[in-house]
């Protein structure tokens, strides 16, 4: 029996395979939180966000968690500042383009959490802005 089958059996027949997958991802996230593994947690949250979108669920909070964990990982790697980098292609929305190049201390970025942008209209269903990090101010 694989992990998905085991989790599905644990949840019972009222739950779907998607529910079982979500439960497994939450279990993994809990393990990463316990290990302060911010980089892996950020990647997992990003995957969970796209999974949520595929399931038709609100994913904004999970993408925010991913952004927050990327900032925390950068802090552990010695970065002190972060800059928003918008994906500058035909799908970049006005809100993201307006944020492109915005600079923050990581502490301020964690408080404000400007990306992902809630009103992003990139057409992907989620904001594709990323963080760039540095040790001294830009």
> Could you tell me the pTM of the whole model?
0.84
The set of residues, in sequence order, having a beta carbon less than 8 Å from that of 58 and lying 6+ positions away, is: 52
User: For position 43, what pLDDT does the model report?
Assistant: 94
Of the pLDDT bands very low, low, confident and very high (cuts 50, 70, 90), residue 4 is: low
Please give the Cα distance from 29 to 75 (Å, whole number): 20
User: For position 84, what pLDDT does the model report?
Assistant: 94
- The candidate with the shortest Cα–Cα distance to 57, out of 24, 18, 96, 9, is 18
CB 120 within 8 A of CB 67: no
CB 71 within 8 A of CB 107: no
Q: 23-63 pLDDT, tens per residue?
A: 889 888 988 887 888 999 999 999 999 999 999 988 999 99
Alpha-carbon distance values, 2 to 16, 52, 72, 120 (Å): 16, 22, 33, 38
The pLDDT of residue 106 is above 60: yes
Q: 116-127 pLDDT, tens per residue?
A: 988 888 777 788
């Amino acid at each position: 029996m694989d992990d998905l089958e085991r989790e599905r059996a644990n949840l019972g027949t009222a739950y779907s395979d998607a529910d079982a997958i979500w439960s497994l991802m939450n279990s993994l996230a809990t393990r990463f939180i316990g290990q302060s593994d911010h980089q892996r947690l950020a990647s997992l949250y990003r995957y969970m966000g796209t999974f949520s979108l595929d399931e038709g669920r609100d994913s904004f909070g999970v993408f925010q968690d991913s952004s927050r964990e990327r900032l925390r990982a950068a802090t552990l790697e010695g970065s002190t500042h972060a800059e928003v980098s918008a994906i500058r292609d035909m799908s970049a929305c006005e809100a993201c383009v307006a944020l492109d190049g915005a600079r923050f201390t990581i502490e301020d970025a964690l408080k404000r959490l400007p990306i992902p942008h809630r009103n992003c209209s990139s057409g992907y269903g989620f904001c594709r802005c990323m963080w760039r990090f540095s040790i001294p101010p830009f």
